[in-house]
């Protein structure tokens, strides 16, 4: 069962509204009316909260037929939840009054706290200090309140209460809750709970997520967030929750403006939203791109089982919607199921001879309800089908309501186990458009919405069935040598370097366990010629300069140097081009490297202000910021996280040896990611890091170039 310490917020024995008002336009009036009657459009006391409701206002009198108490102290009946809707300056004293009354659960609807500036922040701090001292827990301030279907609790000032259902909604925006409540009423789905946390001064997202994860009325948790007060704590709560039930989330404020100040490729590619996406992915949370996806996925996940695979069957009475749905399937990670001979033969028995004989299963425009039901019964038993989307377009011969009944009958069969979604085009807001929703089959306005929701069901199924990743028996890359890493950082600090020169960066990452190509440091052209001869041609020459971040951008790299004359020419060219590109840049020498060719990968780290170290892997090289084929994960990584990240790279064929390229040993790349994760988790000095390129060769992964940027001396420091 849910955490008993929070339960009075959701199942109180009695509720008081401090600041109740007789003015219909006031928040205090709306709160009292919603508690009594369930919503603004109701006058039925049976539709409201069934426990005692108390109005509190020093003026006394009567509101909505209820006597008004002058203070909390005069209330005699059971009371364990108080809603406060008075000017902010009175709230700290009211917190004490709640504690004096024995009430430990308070929702502060009032605004005028930290959001208005220093004066409001001081008031909020005073309120929190009183609450902490007296053992009072607060939701808010500046929030909409709470709705709970069980018991008819509408402890909010929203216009209405959502129909009772199984979606637990947690939103940083109260206005979003009111909009989604109206949407739920129209589409005939329901919420178990809706919680607006407002400023999150006390109770935060992670506590509500934990409560909803334990709540038997909640089948799916739906989250809208703009930011988290304690991001890592929320991440752990989301992990706990998604192990038990689906979680769908959307993030507001996904601006990438912060990337403009980054020095490394990784920092430039990260943006403010990447850490949240990585956190959601690592927690098994389904990340929605818009409000429509958020609610459609939640509807599907609250009523349908996870899909055991990605093989989709489409049943339709119109070719065009079926084709468009097939196109949408590939965008959402689904494949059209290849129907077996047995399934085709069974369909031939019940469908006209002109049916499509393929998937999508076109049951023809004059399809009867029986034809839909027969097709669904066959596909529902077909082992090659993991989920079904059924589409109907209204034509002169169709019977929409009867067809909906037939679909609901097929779905209600005891043997039915697969997810089923529907879309009846053109019937939004009609009896037909809500018939299936009321019977547990989500009916979407558009076929593509149903396909998208089926994709979410398939991803949930894949998450639950994910295998344990293999462990490399003998890692090619040893664990980080912390003493050597500390030495490299100390040498850089002593030299006044925050952007480590290539020699130090290479030494540091070598100490972290990366395998490098053969490389030597030359002080001048003659030294470079000698070293190139020792290494063996062809070689690569690179500038060593603390003033140059992206060497190739300013001509600081020369490839395919095949002889001594080429070495001298390359050194001269580097001096000239770097001097032109970065006037006054210090050139401390050159690295002379064994030239290694293969598929280029990037591994990097930046630090997110909310979540901390964020690791990136993807296709590397000089065009990494152009193609942006990368994936992110929060440090510390698990091997499962590392495998997921590698699997999210779009250019999988390149990693699998396309056109004669080397084939990636994913276990080896996982080990590299784990070594880098351990490195940055252990050394807070490292602010940003790039290994680019990390070249996939026939003999494995070889690091070619590196960038390490240290935090300022007064930053976190080495742990």
Which CATH number does the domain housing residue 562 bear?
3.30.1490.20
Select from 595, 619, 654 the last residue of a domain.
Answer: 595
pLDDT at 256: 52
**Residue 591 and residue 621 share a domain:** no
Dump pLDDT digits (tens) for 545-592.
989 988 888 999 999 999 999 999 999 999 999 999 999 999 999 999
**Residue 678 and residue 547 share a domain:** no
In a domain, 267, yes or no: no
In a domain, 663, yes or no: yes
Strands of the sheet containing 137-139, edge to edge, are 62-63, 66-69, 53-56, 15-18, 81-84, 105-108, 137-139
Nearest to 63 by CA among 35, 44, 97, 101: 35
pLDDT at 265: 45
**Residue 696 and residue 569 share a domain:** no
Nearest to 595 by CA among 521, 542, 517: 517
Confidence tier at 254 by pLDDT (50, 70, 90): low
- How confident is the model over 133-151, as a mean pLDDT? 95
Q: Is the pLDDT of residue 134 over 50?
A: yes
- How confident is the model over 37-45, as a mean pLDDT? 88
Provide the percentage of residues in the chain whose pLDDT is more than 90: 79
Confidence tier at 39 by pLDDT (50, 70, 90): confident
Dump pLDDT digits (tens) for 347-361.
999 999 999 999 999
**Residue 548 and residue 673 share a domain:** no
CB 194 within 8 A of CB 171: yes
**Residue 93 and residue 15 share a domain:** yes
Residue with tokens 């409000």: 291
Q: What are phi and psi of 669, to 5 degrees?
A: -65, -35
In terms of Cβ atoms closer than 10 Å to its own Cβ (0-12, 13-18, 19+), residue 382 is buried
pLDDT at 477: 63
In terms of Cβ atoms closer than 10 Å to its own Cβ (0-12, 13-18, 19+), residue 1 is exposed
**Residue 582 and residue 605 share a domain:** no
Q: Is the pLDDT of residue 3 over 90?
A: no
In a domain, 172, yes or no: yes
Give, for 8, the enclosing helix (H) or strand (E).
helix 7-10
Q: What whole-number distance in Å separates Cα of residue 552 and Cα of residue 558?
A: 8
CATH code of the domain containing 365: 3.40.50.261
Three-state secondary-structure class, residue 690 = strand
**Residue 578 and residue 627 share a domain:** no
Q: What whole-number distance in Å separates Cα of residue 624 and Cα of residue 266?
A: 9
Q: What whole-number distance in Å separates Cα of residue 179 and Cα of residue 333?
A: 30
Three-state secondary-structure class, residue 634 = strand
Average pLDDT, the chain: 92
Q: What whole-number distance in Å separates Cα of residue 425 and Cα of residue 468?
A: 42
Kindly write down the DSSP assignment for every residue of 460-479, as one continuous string.
Answer: HHHHHTPPPPPPPSS-SSPP
pLDDT at 2: 59
pLDDT at 552: 87
- How confident is the model over 661-689, as a mean pLDDT? 94
CB 684 within 8 A of CB 719: yes
pLDDT at 260: 45
Q: What is the DSSP letter of 718?
A: B
Q: What whole-number distance in Å separates Cα of residue 140 and Cα of residue 401?
A: 45
Top-confidence residue, 262 or 456:
456
pLDDT at 263: 44
**Residue 604 and residue 682 share a domain:** yes
Strands (E), 179-283: 191-196, 220-225, 247-251
Confidence tier at 421 by pLDDT (50, 70, 90): very high
The model carries a pTM of 0.88
pLDDT at 139: 97
In a domain, 133, yes or no: yes
Q: Is the pLDDT of residue 474 over 80?
A: no
Select from 595, 630, 649 the last residue of a domain.
Answer: 595
Q: Is the pLDDT of residue 243 over 50?
A: yes
- How confident is the model over 484-502, as a mean pLDDT? 94
In a domain, 606, yes or no: yes
**Residue 418 and residue 362 share a domain:** yes
In a domain, 255, yes or no: no
pLDDT at 346: 98
**Which distant-in-sequence residues (6+ apart) come within 8 Å of 658 by Cβ?**
none
Select from 555, 579, 595 the last residue of a domain.
Answer: 595
**Residue 157 and residue 82 share a domain:** yes
Owning domain of residue 560: 518-595
Instruction: Specify the length of the chain in residues.
Output: 719
Q: What whole-number distance in Å separates Cα of residue 36 and Cα of residue 83?
A: 14
Give, for 423, the enclosing helix (H) or strand (E).
strand 420-425
Q: What whole-number distance in Å separates Cα of residue 613 and Cα of residue 699?
A: 30
**Residue 631 and residue 588 share a domain:** no
Q: What angle do CA 554, 559, 565 make, to 5 degrees?
A: 105
Of 227-236, 242-251, 260-269, 429-438, the one with minimum mean pLDDT is 260-269
Q: What angle do CA 419, 424, 429 make, to 5 degrees?
A: 110
CB 690 within 8 A of CB 604: yes
Q: What are phi and psi of 207, to 5 degrees?
A: -70, -40
Q: What is the dihedral of CA 346, 347, 349, 351, to 10 degrees?
A: 170
Give, for 137, the enclosing helix (H) or strand (E).
strand 137-139
pLDDT at 577: 96
Provide the percentage of residues in the chain whose pLDDT is more than 70: 95
In a domain, 107, yes or no: yes
Q: What is the DSSP letter of 637?
A: P
**Residue 644 and residue 543 share a domain:** no
- How many separate domains does the chain show? 4
pLDDT at 394: 83
pLDDT at 717: 44
Nearest to 699 by CA among 556, 488, 517: 517
Residue with tokens 């469908």: 351
Q: Is the pLDDT of residue 623 over 80?
A: no
Dump pLDDT digits (tens) for 277-323.
999 999 999 999 999 999 999 999 999 999 999 999 999 999 999 99
In a domain, 239, yes or no: no
pLDDT at 268: 47
CATH code of the domain containing 118: 3.40.50.720
Question: 223 has which bridge partners?
Answer: 170, 249
Upper half-sphere CA count for residue 488 (Cβ side, 13 Å): 27
pLDDT at 258: 40
């Amino acid at each position: 069962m849910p955490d008993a310490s929070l339960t009075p917020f959701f199942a109180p024995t009695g509720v008081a509204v401090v600041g109740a008002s007789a003015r219909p336009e006031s928040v205090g009036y709306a709160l009292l009316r919603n508690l009594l009657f369930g919503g603004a459009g109701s006058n039925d006391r049976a539709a409201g909260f069934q426990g005692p409701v108390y109005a509190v206002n020093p003026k006394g009198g009567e509101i909505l037929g209820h006597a008004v108490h002058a203070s909390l102290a005069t209330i005699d009946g059971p009371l364990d939840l108080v809603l406060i809707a008075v000017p902010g300056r009175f709230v700290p004293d009211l917190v004490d009054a709640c504690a004096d009354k024995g009430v430990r659960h308070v929702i502060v609807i009032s605004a005028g706290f930290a959001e208005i500036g220093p004066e409001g922040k001081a008031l909020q701090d005073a309120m929190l200090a009183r609450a902490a001292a007296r053992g009072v827990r607060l939701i808010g301030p500046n929030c909409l309140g709470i709705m709970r279907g069980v018991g008819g609790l509408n402890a909010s000032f929203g216009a209405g209460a959502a129909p009772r259902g199984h979606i637990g909604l947690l939103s940083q925006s109260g206005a979003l809750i009111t909009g989604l409540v109206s949407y739920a009423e129209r589409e005939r789905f329901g919420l178990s709970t809706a919680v607006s946390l407002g400023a999150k001064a006390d109770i935060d997202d992670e506590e509500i997520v934990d409560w909803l994860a334990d709540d038997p009325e909640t089948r799916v948790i739906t989250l809208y967030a703009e930011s988290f007060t304690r991001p890592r704590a929320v991440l752990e709560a989301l992990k706990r929750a998604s192990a038990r039930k689906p979680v769908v989330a959307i993030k507001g404020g996904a601006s990438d403006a912060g990337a403009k100040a980054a020095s490394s490729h990784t920092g430039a590619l990260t943006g403010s939203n990447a850490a949240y996406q990585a956190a959601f992915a690592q927690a098994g949370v389904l990340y929605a791109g818009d409000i429509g996806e958020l609610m459609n996925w939640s509807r599907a996940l609250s009523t349908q089982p996870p899909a055991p695979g990605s093989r989709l069957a489409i049943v339709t009475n119109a070719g065009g919607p079926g084709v468009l749905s097939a196109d949408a399937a590939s965008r959402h990670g689904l494949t059209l199921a290849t129907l077996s001979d047995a399934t085709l033969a069974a369909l031939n028995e019940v469908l006209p001879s002109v049916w499509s004989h393929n998937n999508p299963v076109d049951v023809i425009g004059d399809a009867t309800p029986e034809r839909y039901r027969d097709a669904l019964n066959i596909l529902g038993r077909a082992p090659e089908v993991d989920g079904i989307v059924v589409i109907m377009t209204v034509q002169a011969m169709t019977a929409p309501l009867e067809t909906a009944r037939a679909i609901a009958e097929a779905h209600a069969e005891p043997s039915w186990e697969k997810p089923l979604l529907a879309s009846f085009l053109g019937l939004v807001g009609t009896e037909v458009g809500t018939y299936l929703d009321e019977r547990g089959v989500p009916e979407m306005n558009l076929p593509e919405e149903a396909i998208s929701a089926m994709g979410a069901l398939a991803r949930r199924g894949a998450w639950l069935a994910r295998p344990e990743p293999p462990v490399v028996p003998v890692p090619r890359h040893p664990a980080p040598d912390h003493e050597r890493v500390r030495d490299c950082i100390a040498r850089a600090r002593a030299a006044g370097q925050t952007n480590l020169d290539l020699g130090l960066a290479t030494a540091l990452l070598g100490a972290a366990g990366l395998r490098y190509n053969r490389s030597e440091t030359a002080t001048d052209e003659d030294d470079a010629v000698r070293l190139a001869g020792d290494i063996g041609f062809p070689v690569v020459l690179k500038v060593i300069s603390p003033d140059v971040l992206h060497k190739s951008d300013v001509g600081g790299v020369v490839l395919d140097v095949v002889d001594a004359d080429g070495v001298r020419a390359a050194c001269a060219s580097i001096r000239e081009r770097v001097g032109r590109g970065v006037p006054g840049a210090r050139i401390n020498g050159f690295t002379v490297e064994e030239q290694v060719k293969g598929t280029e990968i990037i591994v990097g780290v930046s630090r997110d202000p909310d979540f901390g170290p964020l690791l990136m892997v993807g296709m590397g090289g000089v065009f990494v910021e152009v193609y942006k084929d990368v994936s992110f994960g929060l440090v510390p990584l698990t091997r499962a996280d590392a495998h997921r990240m590698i699997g999210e790279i779009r250019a999988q064929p390149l990693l699998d040896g396309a056109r004669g390229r080397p084939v990636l040993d994913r276990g080896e790349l996982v080990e590299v990611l784990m070594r880098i994760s351990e490195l940055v988790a252990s050394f807070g000095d490292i602010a940003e890091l790039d290994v680019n390129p990390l070249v996939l060769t026939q003999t494995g992964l070889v690091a070619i170039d590196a960038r390490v940027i240290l935090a300022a001396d007064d930053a976190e420091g080495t742990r």
